[in-house]
Amino acid sequence: MPETPTKPVLLTGASGNLGRMLARELAALGWTLRLTDIAPFPDPLPPRAGFTRMDLADGVGLLRLAEGCGAILHFGGISVEQPFGTVLGPNIQGLYHVYEAARREAARVIFASSNHSIGFHERPKGADGSPHGAESEKIDMDCAFRPDGYYGLSKAYGELMGRLYWDKHGVENVNLRIGSCFPEPTEARMLSTWLSYADLARLCVAAVTAPRSGHCVIWACSDNPASFWGQDHRDRIGWQPQDSAEAWRARVGHITSGNPVIERYQGGSYTAIGYSRGKPSARDAFALD
């Protein structure tokens, strides 16, 4: 059985699909959980878990809720592309409140970042035009941020806030660049980006219980041969994914959008929302063409 944290763990966004799954799986390991969300928790409360309905805008309430916690699993906030004004409060100000609580409690933050923070990187291509990119074409965790919308921009901001709080305050943080976390892949892009629920749960366990993390970035996808992504800090926390999207290749490998923008970039459909360029942006993030 994985190590059980000695202190309670705070989970924001507990009423969402991923939050509910994590609450169930972590409680089954014997963890003491404090759950919170702006929406009611729709399931029976797991053992050793309490739920507080709260807005991330409530900085004082979040400070109180985090008292005595050893880690904060931050899955709260806006989780899809929305107008800037909608994203601003929960994903920017709310994140600040999370980090202030972590600073006061000397707690580690596990931040649900996203592939959409780098979504305008082009997809790697193999010699045969398949999505199996060569290792040299895959991007590593220190690649440039290239967000594909306001949601992705907020996730890039969140990772930079983690960098700031580590450098200035010593707050450890693990940034999970989540690909596509669903029960199973549903289209061809997910053969590269899919993250199984079980691999996410194992990743969160590793991120919380690792002896040290510092500031680190993890490509949060399963063991997919077609992955877009290369090196990260997974060895630092001792995580290796155990599932793979390849089992669904025959079923979903032919399912594409038909949109050249969506199929060009790693962020998929988010890149096409409000897209108004006359021609695609360059592979080099700073090139003129």
Whether the per-residue pLDDT at 96 is higher than 70: the answer is yes
In a domain, 283, yes or no: no
Stretch 74-100: mean pLDDT = 97
In a domain, 286, yes or no: no
Share of the chain above pLDDT 70, in %: 96
- pLDDT value for 125: 78
- pLDDT value for 127: 33
In a domain, 184, yes or no: yes
270 as an active site residue: the answer is no
pLDDT digits (tens, 9 = 90+) for 196-205: 999 999 999 9
pLDDT digits (tens, 9 = 90+) for 180-201: 999 999 999 999 999 999 999 9
Q: Under a CB-based contact definition with an 8 Å cutoff, are residues 57 and 94 in contact?
A: yes
Domain that holds residue 227: 9-272
Whether the per-residue pLDDT at 102 is higher than 70: the answer is yes
Q: In this predicted structure, which of 132-141, 159-168, 225-234, 240-249 has the lowest mean pLDDT?
A: 132-141
DSSP 72-113: EEE--S--S---HHHHHIIIIIHHHHHHHHHHHHTPEEEEEE
Domain count along the chain: 1
pLDDT digits (tens, 9 = 90+) for 117-176: 999 999 997 533 455 555 668 999 999 999 999 999 999 999 999 999 999 999 999 999
- pLDDT value for 128: 34
Catalytic residue from among 99, 151, 265, 270: 151
- pLDDT value for 289: 75
In a domain, 284, yes or no: no
Distances (CA, A) of 34 to 1, 54, 161: 21, 12, 23
In a domain, 46, yes or no: yes
| Four-CA torsion 87, 93, 98, 101, nearest 10 degrees | -170
CATH number for 149: 3.40.50.720
In a domain, 279, yes or no: no
**What average pLDDT is seen over the chain?**
95
pLDDT digits (tens, 9 = 90+) for 25-69: 999 999 999 999 999 999 999 999 999 999 999 999 999 999 999
Stated pTM of the model: 0.95
- pLDDT value for 148: 98
In a domain, 277, yes or no: no
